[in-house]
Each structure stands twice: as C-alpha cells, then as structure tokens.
Copies of this chain bind each other. A is one copy, B any other.
Amino acid sequence: MNDAHILPNWLAHRAAVLPNQPALLADGARWTFAALDRWVSDMARNLLMRVAPQDRVALLLRNRPEFVALAHAAPRAGITLVPLNTRLSAPELAWQIADSGARLLFYAADTAALAEAAIAVVPSIPLAQADDQPQLLRRDFNRRQLVAVEIARLDDTRVPNAALRTTIDLAEPYTIIYTSGTTGQPKGALLTYGNYWWSAVGSALNLGSHADDRWLAVLPLFHVGGMSILMRAAIYGIPAVLHSAFDPAAVNRAIDEDGVTIISVVSTMLQRMLEERGDRPYPAALRCVLLGGVPAPQPLLEACAARGVPVVQTYGLTETASQVATLAPADALRKLGSAGQPLLPTALRIASAGIGEVGEILVRGPTVMRGYINRPDQTAQALRDGWLYTGDLGELDTDGYLYIRDRKKDMVLVSGFNVYPREVEEVLCLHPAVLEAAVIGIGDEQRGALIKAFVALRPGADATAETLDAHCRLNLAPYKVPRVYVFLDRLPKTTVGKTDKKQLN
C-alpha cells in the first residue's frame, strides 16, 4: 500500500468536480476546467505524435495559454518539460537545449527568430559526460534529433486517440529549469510532480485557500515562480489569471475587474504598480501580495503598510519549486528584512551557526529537487545528508525568523532575476581585448540592482564601453548586461592573488 505518491491527475480531478469553474483567464479569453481539460488532452495526444513518454520537450514561449496547456499536457503524455528563459541570448539557449537533451522545441511567432538562432548553435555545443548518473538525471539521447515546432502550427483536429495517463506519480520528473551558479555553466534543476504538489500544499496551509481565490500569473511561466502558480491553480481548483507581460496598469486593472485575490511579484513590479495606482486604494478582496526576492526595500514595505497592501515576503528557490519561507503581513515591519519562517512541509537550518550567527541556509523536505541533470558532482555538493545546501547565507533570530544575508555569495538580483557575476565575467573575458574582468551589483531604485563591470584591457588592446556592450548583448540576456563600465590598468588582488572585489564599488 506504499502508493502515497500516486494521485489522480489534478486537472482532471478539478474538471470532474468543478467542470464549469473558470480555470484560466488570458487576454480576454477564458477556459473552464472542463474546457481546459479537453484542450490539454488534445495537446497531450499532439505531443505523443511527436515524442515518446520520458522524452524532454523544451518550451521557448512567453506567457500564453498554450504554455498552460502544455504544462498540464506533460503528465498525461509522460514527458518532461524544459521551460527556457526567453530573455536569454541564442548561445545561452543553445547550451541549455543541448544539455537538456530535448527532442522537441516549441516556439511562437514572437520567439521564432530567437529559436532559429539558438538551434543553429546547438550542434556546436559539446556534450557533458555523466554516465554515472541515475537514469532520471542523465541525458542519454541524441540531440541531433531535435525538432522545432511553432505552437500555432499544432492542429488539434487531427490528433489520434492515443491513451493518456490518468494518474500523476509524484516521484516522476516534471520540469528541468536552468539556474546559474557562481561557477561554470547553468545547471538544470530537475523538479518532480511531488516537488510542485508539496509546494502548493505548503502554500495553501500557510496562506489559506479560499473558494473565490484567483491567482495572477504575471511572473514568467518559464520561471519556477510562474510555473508553480499554474500548479496551485489546478490543485486548488481556482483560476489562474495569465498576463503575457508585466504592465502595471493591466495588473491593477485585473485586481479591480478580474477578481484577482493573490498576486506573485518581485519588488520592482510592486513599486511600479503602486506608482501607477496613485491614491486609489486596493480592494479588500486582494488578500495576498506574494513578494519574491527578499529582502524587500524598506520604503516599499512602509508604503504598502500605509496603504493596507497585504505583502507576504517570501524566500524561494528554483531548487525547491518556489517558496521555502514567508513573512506574514502582520510581521512585515516588526521583522523588517526577514523572510519569515519555513512553510510546513519544509525544515530549514543554518549550517554550523548558532542563533543570530550567519551561515549557509540548508533546506530539507518534499519540495527539494531531485538534482541537477548531467551534473553528478554539483548534485552531490548541493544535496548532502538529506539537506539542500542553498549557497545562500542567512541567520535565524530567537523567534526562528530567517534573515537572508547574501544570496549565493555574490549573486545579484536584477528585476527579480538572478545574475551571477562569474557568468558575466566569463563572457567579458571572451572578448579579445579583455585581459581580466570583475562584475558587481550596484543599487538601482527601479530594478533593485544593476550590473557594473571593472575591466582591464590587454596591453595595446583597444576597446570602449560600446564595444564591450555590443559583445555582451550578443552573448547574454539583457538583464545580465553591464550598465556601467570602469576601465582599470589591473584589478585589485587579494594576498593569494584572487580579484579582491571588496575594493571594487
């Protein structure tokens, strides 16, 4: 009877119990759970015409209803999704596509050029060697079989009547989401259905679950923060309200007119919403503003408190299917700068540190990922004795409230996106004129932070900020591109000869 990991397909369950309840609102269109359920089954059969169960399917899609249908089609077809960040450069995307071993890539008209550019680069990416990995984490198929399909070309009318899965095995892989580290290439974090399920349950037990809830999905669906909203909506039986891009006026309108009760945003979004809103109060029905990317700026929190905006700050990770800890609105100012306490299924501790001491944040529980695909060493380093070593530094106060002191050592959070200086530095060093480079984050009122680069050129070489900017734009997602350049003869060094970033600011 040890089948506690086999559940009925949750979207199908909701379609059976609440067939006429809205499931998805997007761009003026709406799907009930019954309608979404039918579309998803067609989509799953469509998938099975092109790939086999266990295959990986990459999505290069902005927020759009087809993303939602594909997200729910995956468990019925038995495939694993690889949602790609549409803001990445073609070389970055090519690397992730190749690493994931995806056999099929979906794109849309607005990502077609990017998809084409990425696909052209894929064959030049060397494959990682990782034969000692368990099967779920291993890429063991030929990336030359990659097929790209524009989502609008899918024809639902000719799908065969293939058998679909009716249950969801929580232990099975669901998504591979790439996350950059302080060193080397991005790593594909493998999340299971169970990771998302437990994350959704933990959030419901923390924030409550109301029959009239509607959750706004304006975060990108390729990000774990967006994807997890889709899962919660289906598991709770509530509508997801999908926005294709962040527009503060549209979000404010959705709160007024579409009955949105919960939104997930990062600080810069919330700031712009408040500015757009002016003096008009938010309706009481807006019961939770889940704010990622802690710590949030104090003036923003004070503005929200003054206007009665119920901000729930949260600390989350790709590797934990989003939320790990949250801070309730009542504590927002009392515990200023805190990420609150862990959600029920999750345990949290600070490695080798007492109360009030800073150490690495460790997380344990059923939301923790299976591992990084093709990266046995980094998986073994991240997952030890049942704990996830997050790389983030934090401390706990005497009440057990978490304070994040440094995210992944020198990670910079730009508009809610992680930027790892090392990655930018490596791209800068690829330019023939650059001898060495160091990158830091500097405060920015609107985006939280900006990237600032310190560069030493090779003797006799010639390069301007404009040259390097063009080089970076070709190789990096726009939010990773440095906005400020400082040219030095040489970078300051520590006594052991490493670049001394403490001297750079």
Interface of A toward B, CB cutoff 8 Å: 1-8, 10, 13, 16-17, 167, 170-171, 194, 198, 201, 204-205, 208-211, 235-237, 341-342, 344-347, 364-366, 368-371, 383, 386, 399-400
Contacts and interface: CB of A to CB of B under 8 A. Distances in A.
A490 to B, nearest CB: 45
B198 A4 contact: yes
Given A7-B345, A345-B7, A347-B167, A205 B237 contact: yes
A167 B3 CA distance: 21
A208 B399 CA distance: 29
Q: Oligomeric state, in number of copies?
A: 2
Contact of A347 (B8, B194, B368, B383): B8
B208 A211 contact: yes
Contact of A7 (B1, B365, B370): B365
Contacts of A342: 8, 13
Given A201-B201, A204-B209, A209-B205, A235 B4 contact: no
B1 A383 contact: yes
Nearest to A386: B3
B1 A341 contact: no
6 contacts: A1-B369, A1-B386, A3-B386, A4-B5, A4-B198, A4-B365
A65 to B, nearest CB: 24
Top 10 closest pairs, chain A to chain B, by CB: A4-B366, A209-B209, A208-B209, A17-B341, A16-B400, A8-B347, A208-B211, A3-B386, A13-B344, A201-B201
A213 to B, nearest CB: 8
Contact of A344 (B6, B194, B235, B399): B235
A170 B370 contact: no
A342 B210 CA distance: 19
Nearest to A10: B344
A98 B363 CA distance: 43
A208 B208 contact: yes
A3 B208 contact: no
A402 to B, nearest CB: 12
B1 A371 contact: yes
A10 to B, nearest CB: 6
A16 B341 contact: yes
A150 B347 CA distance: 37
B4 A344 contact: no
A361 to B, nearest CB: 16
Contacts of A170: 4
A227 to B, nearest CB: 19
A419 B397 CA distance: 55
Contacts of A370: 1
A236 B204 CA distance: 9
Contacts of A386: 1, 3, 6
Nearest to A194: B4
Contact of A3 (B2, B4, B210, B364): B364
A464 B420 CA distance: 89
A400 B13 CA distance: 10
A205 B364 contact: no
Contacts of A368: 1
Nearest to A18: B328
Given A6-B386, A205-B237, A209-B209, 17 more contacts: A1-B368, A1-B383, A2-B171, A3-B365, A6-B364, A6-B365, A7-B344, A7-B365, A8-B346, A13-B342, A13-B344, A16-B400, A201-B205, A208-B208, A208-B209, A208-B211, A210-B210
Contacts of A2: 171
A314 to B, nearest CB: 14
Contacts of A400: 16
Contacts of A344: 7-8, 10, 13, 235
Nearest to A366: B4
A345 B346 CA distance: 20
A236 B205 contact: yes
Nearest to A367: B4
A347 to B, nearest CB: 5
A408 B171 CA distance: 35
A6 to B, nearest CB: 8
A344 B12 CA distance: 10
A204 B370 CA distance: 27
A344 B211 CA distance: 15
Nearest to A213: B208
A342 B167 CA distance: 14
Contacts of A371: 1
Nearest to A212: B208
